[in-house]
Amino acid sequence: MTCRQENAGVYAPVHRHMKDASECTRPKLISLVMPAYNEQGTLRVAFDRLEDVFAGSPYEWELVLVNDGSSDDTLLEATTYRSRAFRMVVVDLSRHFGKEAALSAGLRSASGDAVIPMDADLQDPPELVLEMISRWAKGAEVVIARRSDRGSDLWTKRFSAALFYRAFNMMSDVAIPENVGDFRLMDRSVVDAINGLPENRRFMKGLFAWAGFRTEEIDYVRPSRASGATKFNTFRLVNLAIEGVTSFSTAPLRLVTYLGVSVAIAAMAYGCYIALRTLIYGVELPGYASIVSLLAFLSGLQLLGLGIVGEYVGRSYMESKSRPPYVIRGIFRSDAG
């Protein structure tokens, strides 16, 4: 089995799902999309688990691993691995673009009849893939894995995740299922629909939910990481939450409008009160502390409003440049055997 590099480009080729007479006889191809950023220590364990799961399966298997600008030997580990059960497609990005961009690159490079994004840290159990495929074979176009128990996560992460899902679903017309990540099975028609979207700044959980299609859920217990530590810190999670809200809702802009109207009405009412009080009781000694506090409060509201408007303006500015979400340095392929 040899490993060869293809020409690099901005996007990997978009594979169209062509239906012909041979489709009825050939085995279905299942593609797993695995973004990886400094996952050298977990890849071999993940590959061995996949070998065990795929052994004796009637399907053909493809693992699309996206090296998201790793600084360790993730790329070397992936390109030198020789699988017995699945063929390997390694997409090497030119730098670290982030998980959302890496996932987009993997979806564009996957050629399977069904595509399953999953993490390299084995918190997405490979054994659940077979049950997803069983649901897909019975007619489901999307099979999502819902975490019934997040005991492996810190309480702060569980609390912030629950808060985000509730706030997002209140503001957005597209509801994201709670405790559902990127781990899911999608039919080729779903993947083609997502790949065809023109936007470059992508919040993938929202796009998956926006696409719709016939969806079923599978509950599972999320295990701990196989090794290493998560690459998402609090700052990145907050940025991802802001990205998601501004991608799918204009409710924050409306909220600022309502808040401005409320403050204006309150200011007018207070002005009328001061005028009547002055007419009745005369002028009192000014309260400098209350004036300073009121000015600080109103200034904070103005800065908040400018910040929210700036998020939307900045997003429009970045989209107007039409820059791709990622750049591919090269693609390496190896066959099973």
Classify residue 74 by burial, with Cβ atoms within 10 Å: 0-12, 13-18, 19+. buried
pLDDT at 129 (0 to 100): 86
The per-residue pLDDT for 19 is 47
Domain parsing of the chain, residue ranges: 3-233+327-334, 251-320
**Span 3-233+327-334 CATH architecture:** Alpha-Beta Complex (3.90)
DSSP state string for 224-249? --SSS--S--HHHHHHHHHHHHHHH-
DSSP character string of 137-155 = HTT-SEEEEEEEE-TTS-H
pLDDT of residue 337: 62
Count the neighbouring beta carbons within 10 Å of the beta carbon of residue 161.
18
* Distance in angstroms (rounded) separating the CA atoms of residues 267 and 76: 64
Q: How far lies 9's CA from each of 153, 318, 331, in Å?
A: 38, 21, 9
Q: According to the model, what pLDDT value does residue 308 have?
A: 77
For 4-24, what is the HEC assignment? EEECCECCCCCCCCCCCHHHH
- Closest residue by Cα to residue 119 from 72, 176, 183, 179: 183
CB 101 within 8 A of CB 182: no
Q: What was the pLDDT predicted at 151?
A: 60
Specify the residue for token string 């309150």: 266
Tell me the torsion sign for CA atoms 272, 273, 276, 282: negative
Identify the segments of the chain with pLDDT beneath 70.
1-25, 149-162, 164-165, 167-172, 223-250, 274, 281-290, 292-293, 296, 336-337
How would DSSP label each residue in 174-215? SPPPTTEEEEEEEEHHHHHHHHT---SS--HHHHHHHH--SE
User: What's the number of CA atoms in the CB half-sphere (13 Å) around residue 177?
Assistant: 21
What tokens were used for 305? 């409003």
Element (H, E) at 263: helix 251-281
Half-sphere exposure of 238 (CA within 13 A, CB side): 4
Res 1: pLDDT: 44
Burial of 101 (0-12, 13-18, 19+ CB in 10 A): buried
The SS3 assignment for 88 reads strand
